Amino acid sequence: MPTITYLEGVIAAQREEMERDPSVFLMGEDVTWNIQGTTKGLVEQFGPERVRDTPISEAGFLGAGAGAAMVGMRPVVEILMAPFLYVAFDQLVSIIAKSTYLYGGQASLPLTIRLPLFYGGGNAAQHSDRPWSTVMTIPGLKIAIPSTATDAKGLLKSAIRSNDPVLVFEDANCWSSRGEVPDDDDFLIPLGQANVLRTGADVTIVAIASTVKMAQDAAKQLAEDGIQAEVIDPRTINPLDKDTILDSVRKTGRLVAVDPAHRMGSFASELSAIVAQECFWDLQAPVERVTTPHTHIPFAREMERPLYPNVDKIVAAVRRTMG
């Protein structure tokens, strides 16, 4: 298998699906310029009809994507930075998430929304949000958060083939990571299938986005002290592979949930509630959460970076839950 970067996985997924299905097209701000590095070579191969630049109007072009999906196309809409999705929330919440339900199943929306995330780099409060926690509360939306090159390709291809709206959050902190990725055009990672990255009997660590690598590094460090951590990447938070996570917690009796989003209402919080409700009698210690404090993100990197989860914070949380 070829070794490629996360970004190359995103490009490969779009190219293969556009080659396979003429109804797939890409639209977004400056996608023909490859401004984010995720559309390289696509306009040259498929032309401006299928790789479309849009005005700076997220509500307008996300709504256009919704309409195109309703009439049989499979749009891939790139939002330049994930927090810009807020500008299009009426389209997302009132139309995209609800139309299949409102029309009694007569309408489907095979719409993929790609959402690059830029945090930890001094982009300040309006550009640094990790908004999967917000959209997680909205019924009707599938949410994928790939953390590796393999997942970047396999999950995005599954999203494009889905008949439901799928939001794919692409963490820029993972973009340079490399991995062996199948070059098979039909390589897919099903939405709703977690990945157990490391097995262990003492504690379960569930992490998403850039914190997956941190969790693996923390597990290696803990192993030196005889603590065997099981590390799980859910890969999608809706649908969520609860069975894999709950089976692990029943085995280990402990959970550390790691999430770069703000703590209040986070995926880590929801997961903690699920485990507390469904594995209460299996838990040997309180659930631990490693998240970002409920505060706005400052511009100064020296102030910003300590806010997010890191290896030391994960190790400390595991030690607390181990007593």
Closest by Cα among 258, 315, 312 to 289: 258
Cβ neighbours of 322 (radius 10 Å): 17
Per-residue tokens: 134: 């917000």
**DSSP β-bridge partners for residue 229:** 203
Per-residue tokens: 181: 């990725």
Q: How far is CA 66 from the centre of its chain?
A: 21
DSSP assignment of 246-276, as one string?
Answer: HHHHHHHS-EEEEEEEESTT-HHHHHHHHHH
Helices marked H in the chain: 6-20, 42-46, 58-70, 89, 99-102, 132-135, 149-161, 211-223, 242-252, 267-278, 301-304, 311-322
**DSSP β-bridge partners for residue 53:** 28
**Cβ atoms of 149 and 8 closer than 8 Å:** yes
Helices marked H in 34-193: 42-46, 58-70, 89, 99-102, 132-135, 149-161
Per-residue tokens: 254: 């402990």
d(CA 210, CA 213): 6
Catalytic residue among 127, 262, 294, 296: 127
**Cβ atoms of 191 and 155 closer than 8 Å:** yes
296 part of the active site: no
Closest by Cα among 9, 16, 76, 1 to 37: 9
d(CA 153, CA 220): 27
List the catalytic residues.
127
